[in-house]
């Protein structure tokens, strides 16, 4: 009995084809062949194996000579993917070259180095996409820099903030993530060709020279030290990085989900003409794309736990990491790719309801300006605690009586002695309180220009 795809990644629901292709089994074979070829080339250059054999092995290490079906047919018998690859290569080279295939290597020399090649290609894509997302955030920060809005803490109105500052904060977070990625590349994108227990036993004094040449050929960093496998701290760090970026994307999605609440109504996802929000309620428009980002982030954050469990292996290695890494590394990468793509789409097609953003500032009848009244009272000579007490009492009156805070301030005998009407009028203009936000946005745009360029495509 045949089955349709089980995982939504395989069905095409999540992830782009350019990223999923990197982690396909066919591509895995291609990367493994690249490693075998690079090692043979290095060993030939160093006269460790016959130069003629080296050239022949290099020429045959391609999917034109070692096909995916050939590899998998052999694996059905051997039940060992790397040994099957070696047998496949041996079957297509001459008798003189056969002894020198996979010379001085062990399985994880190929597997770990091939995985580094996968991650190298993935990182190129994710850097480009994050750069594009940061550019979008920068443009939105600039677009909404002059729009005053409610700044909320604990879900309550707290003070005035430029709506554009939200985007500036997220842009800075993602720029930090790009810098983190740059920092971990030398630890994640490593090659290892040191044999059975990581000592270079067969290649001896030439072992490190071989690995250096392989690293140069493949654009990878030679591992500084290893057992039979590359230390799993490296991959845990990459998976953790994916989860960290995913959490920032979740933060963005969560803010938009809150701003789309009926009671706030400042944001709306794109909703196409024939789209259905609810099977039961025809009028509903749900923030499903943002909810998808939050949902995938929950799964993504679970991956580092497994990656951390892979660090303590027995002696020079065991296989307790092998099976789960076939899930956590590609799935982390593909999920993050889907989340970045989704957030880019949301930002590009969303609606920010500027009139409601402005109107929401006044929902507390002016109480949102109490911070600025407090500041003036302190400047007039009040102690902070005394001014705070006075304004707490006046705020309570505002709530109980349902009056405007500005009206209560102007009628209060004590406050009106120290604060003029002109000063009060200036306090209650929201645009007067976003200069700090605008400077933060300006500096963010400057940083984006320096680190990724004014445009990124």
* Active site amino acids: 154, 278
Backbone angles phi, psi at 158, to 5 degrees: -120, -55
CA 381 to each of CA 101, 322, 395, 414, 419: distance values in angstroms, whole numbers, following the listed order: 85, 69, 21, 13, 12
Tokens representing residue 288 in the block = 């499903």
| Contact residues for 390 (Cβ-Cβ < 8 A; gap 6+) | 377, 382, 414, 415
Tokens representing residue 420 in the block = 């003029």
Query: Helices in 148-287 by DSSP H: which ranges?
Result: 163-188, 207-218, 233-259
Beta bridge partners of 190: 221
Phi-psi region of 213 (alpha: psi -120 to 50; beta: other; left: phi over 0): alpha
CA 200 to each of CA 98, 210, 215, 305, 437: distance values in angstroms, whole numbers, following the listed order: 21, 10, 15, 32, 57
| Contact residues for 45 (Cβ-Cβ < 8 A; gap 6+) | 54, 213
Tokens representing residue 22 in the block = 């990197």
Return d(Cα 368, Cα 171) in angstroms, integer: 27
Torsion of CA 421, 425, 427, 431, to 10 degrees: -160
Tokens representing residue 217 in the block = 């050929």
Residues 78 and 90: beta-carbon distance below 8 Å: no
Tokens representing residue 102 in the block = 């996979």
Return d(Cα 169, Cα 190) in angstroms, integer: 33
| Contact residues for 378 (Cβ-Cβ < 8 A; gap 6+) | 384, 387
């Amino acid at each position: 009995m045949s089955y349709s795809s089980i995982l939504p990644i395989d069905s095409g629901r999540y992830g782009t084809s350019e990223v999923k292709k990197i982690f396909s089994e066919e591509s895995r074979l291609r990367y493994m062949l690249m490693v075998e070829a690079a090692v043979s080339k290095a060993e030939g250059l160093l006269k460790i194996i016959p130069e003629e054999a080296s050239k022949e092995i290099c020429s045959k290490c391609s999917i034109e000579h070692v096909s995916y079906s050939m590899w998998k047919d052999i694996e059905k018998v051997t039940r060992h993917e790397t040994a099957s690859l070696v047998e496949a290569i041996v079957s297509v080279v001459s008798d003189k070259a056969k002894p020198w295939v996979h010379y001085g290597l062990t399985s994880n020399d190929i597997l770990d180095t091939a995985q580094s090649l996968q991650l190298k290609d993935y990182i190129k894509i994710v850097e480009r996409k994050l750069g594009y997302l940061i550019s979008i955030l920068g443009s939105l920060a600039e677009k909404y820099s002059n729009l005053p809005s409610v700044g909320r803490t604990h879900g309550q109105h707290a003070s005035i903030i430029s709506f554009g500052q939200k985007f500036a904060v997220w842009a800075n977070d993602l720029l930090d993530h790009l810098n983190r990625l740059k920092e971990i590349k030398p630890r994640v994108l490593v090659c290892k060709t040191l044999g059975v227990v990581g000592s270079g036993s067969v290649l001896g004094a030439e072992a490190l020279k071989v690995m250096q040449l392989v690293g140069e050929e493949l654009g990878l960093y030679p591992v500084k030290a290893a057992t039979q496998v590359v230390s799993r701290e490296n991959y845990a760090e990459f998976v953790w990085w994916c989860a960290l970026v995913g959490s920032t994307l979740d933060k963005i999605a969560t803010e938009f989900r809150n701003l789309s609440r009926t009671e706030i109504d400042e944001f709306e996802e794109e909703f196409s003409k024939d789209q259905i929000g609810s099977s039961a309620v025809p009028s509903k428009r749900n923030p499903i794309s943002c909810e998808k980002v939050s949902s995938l982030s929950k799964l993504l954050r679970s991956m580092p736990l497994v990656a951390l469990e892979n660090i303590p292996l027995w002696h020079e290695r065991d296989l307790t990491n092998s099976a789960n890494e076939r899930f956590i590394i590609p799935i982390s990468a593909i999920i993050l790719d889907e989340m970045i793509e989704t957030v880019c789409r949301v930002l590009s097609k969303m609606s920010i309801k500027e009139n409601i953003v402005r109107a929401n500032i006044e929902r507390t009848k002016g109480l949102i300006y109490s911070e600025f009244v407090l500041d003036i009272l302190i400047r007039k000579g009040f102690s902070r605690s005394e001014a705070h007490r006075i304004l707490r009492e006046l705020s309570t009156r505002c709530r109980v009586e349902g009056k405007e805070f500005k009206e209560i301030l102007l009628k209060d005998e004590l406050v009106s002695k120290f604060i003029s009407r002109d000063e009060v009028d200036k306090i209650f203009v929201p645009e007067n309180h976003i200069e700090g936000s605008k400077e933060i946005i300006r500096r963010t745009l400057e940083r984006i220009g320096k680190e990724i360029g004014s445009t990124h495509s």
